[in-house]
Structure 1
């Protein structure tokens, strides 16, 4: 079926022809993490990964356990990414759990997909109010023992989030960028249909985004205190107890079923996916299966 809409054009997204398919990872142990960039290594921040392996803790999957950390406002946490130029459709089959139970311990224990705008800021040159990213995660939010998806958008380090109930166990998460529009989707492992969990429109001139996997959690061993991002980002809570694991069976990249023309005026005047009143059914039709 060919959709004829202002600005949006159908494109071939077959695995054989797609130029993003090489970024996909089935997390076979023999491949390691050689195609991935670790955020803390790239930018000189402390390593807040408590544990990371492929195929050892969880057969056939990546297992990432974060220390006490968070992706919110100016704070950062574990992030494995690859740089993608232009439109993308990234999906991952993930599970967030505790060491001995189906749900992560504590609160704000979530993991999933993030797309971040590079800002060339490192630990040595850090300045506040420069973070811009979007994500969809699954896990435990503000209330312990309740599984959610969290979607969050951060503009110049101001974060807005949504928490919505979702099943435990393996789920598929998805982020789709079409020009200046992004959509976050999810579906439980036994479901066929995608659920639209959030969408955003941003005036973003940078064609590149860092796209990949995040995980973060909190510990009751860390006493509440005023948020000082520079101090928090430069410190590690190695001895603080946490109980959160992100397992990733696979992550797959491709171009979206529709693509946006690069002209900025067309983006602000005719991108159908940016329309606030576009029905969910039409959005799902546009981004495809």
Structure 2
């Protein structure tokens, strides 16, 4: 039996991966749900929305005057996710003239994780104090014309927001580990950082996870929330054109050493540990070619038994092995967490086959 072993470092399987969107095909817009449709509001608060049209390889969102705050409900395009997740998005928010930061207050775009209001199917069923979500957005907040981040946690329509200096482009990320939500960001030319941590024991297992965009707060604060929620508002001073390069879903794998840890506590799980688990590790293009980096340190073949492969590994990282007879169709063999700097997989022999190909990857 001839055997070839290759070790690409990208994940080979992830049950959330299929939800990701690189925004290079206009037809993928149909895979996203819109909150104004799902809840039966009948009023689209978006001026324009397209994939791979206004800008090649991007989702482009141009919202009308609308917002998320307390009982005011704005724009959300989403996919339903059950259990833990990590989502990553690269966003470039600009004013409608595309020449810099928006010039209207609270004009931002970003990631939102929201508790569904499944009993709400038409405006007459709406009740106050029912909004529960977390988001991180980039654009301009209380200083129009300057880039800022807004991060917000809303519990039963009571919103707590924080504003920080922003940038014209950033990669942002939200991870859910049980009751804890981790909010990360990476500005151009800088390293990843853990921006905020939230414990939200009220959040249900299944959430609406996706992209929000909102603009022009000044006239909205004078409106009744219910009227805002059921209206497509023309006029005023909306000023946001948000370009999103990609939105990637992954299922996080938490090492056994942190299985019972409180991710909301920086003393129990440090920023460095969070960044080692997430950040770039959780932000990989599903279509990108595999990069071979893992080093095979040994392999032994026993006739009638199979092959044992030893490779360099990182303790706490999960690895997966798959096998193929033709380099086209791959079958899962085993997945395990590395507990040392060298790990091994044993692959049973395939009877009557002249060759067997294996690949090992971070899972």
Query: Which TM-score tier does this pair reach, normalised by the shorter chain?
Result: 0.7 to 0.9
2:64 paired with 1:67: yes
User: What is the alpha-carbon distance in structure 2 between the residues aligned to residue 259 and residue 22 of structure 1?
Assistant: 23
2:23 to 15, 20, 27: 27
Equivalent-residue separation in structure 2 for 1:181 and 1:144 (angstroms): 32
Q: Distance in 2 between matches of 1:154 and 1:224?
A: 17
CA distance in 2, matches of 1:181, 1:219: 29
Q: Distance in 1 between matches of 2:116 and 2:255?
A: 22
Please give the root-mean-square deviation of Cα atoms over the aligned residues, in Å.
2.2
Report the more deviating stretch, 18-27 or 46-55. Answer: 46-55
Deviation at 1:205, TM superposition (A): 5.9
- Matched residues in 2 for 1:135 and 1:259: separation? 26
**Structure 1 contact 147–166 (Cα < 8 Å) conserved:** yes
Asked whether the 8 Å contact 1:219–1:241 carries over to 2, the reply is: no
Q: Offset of 1:99 from its aligned partner? A: 2.7
1:103-142 Cα deviation digits (max 9, x unpaired) = 1121100001000011222323101111110001000001
Deviation at 1:76, TM superposition (A): 1.1
TM-score by length of 2: 0.68
In the alignment, which residue of structure 2 is the partner of 1:42? 38
Q: Comparing 205-214 with 154-163, which one deviates more in the overlay? A: 205-214
Q: How does 1:104-123 map to 2 (within 5 A)?
A: 104-120=102-118, 121-122=120-121, 123=123
CA deviation after TM superposition for structure 1 residue 64, in Å:
0.5
The runs of 4+ residues in structure 1 deviating greater than 4 Å are none
Q: How many residues align?
A: 266
Out of 76, 90, 94, which is 2:91 matched to?
A: 94
Asked if structure 2 preserves the Cα contact closer than 8 Å seen for 1:179 and 1:259, the reply is no
Q: Secondary structure of the residue that 1:64 maps to in structure 2?
A: strand
- Say which structure, 1 or 2, has more relative contact order (CA 8 Å, 6+ apart): 1
For 2:34 and 2:276, locate their aligned partners in 1 and report how far apart those are by CA, in whole Å: 34
1:171 equivalent in alignment to 2:163: no
Residue 233 in structure 1 maps to residue 229 in structure 2: yes
Per the TM alignment, residue 243 of structure 1 is displaced from its structure 2 partner at its CA by 1.7
2:264 aligned partner? 274
TM-score, structure 1 normalization = 0.85
1:1-289 superposed matches below 5 A: 15-45=11-41, 46-100=43-97, 101-120=99-118, 121-122=120-121, 123-168=123-168, 170-191=169-190, 193-204=191-202, 206-218=204-216, 222=219, 225=222, 227-258=223-254, 270-275=260-265, 277-278=267-268, 279-287=270-278, 289=281
CA deviation string 1:200-231 (max 9, x = no partner): 001136210100000000066x3852x52112
Rg bigger for which structure?
A: 2
Give unpaired runs (5+ residues) of structure 2.
1-8, 282-363
Give the deviation of 1:24 after TM superposition: 0.2
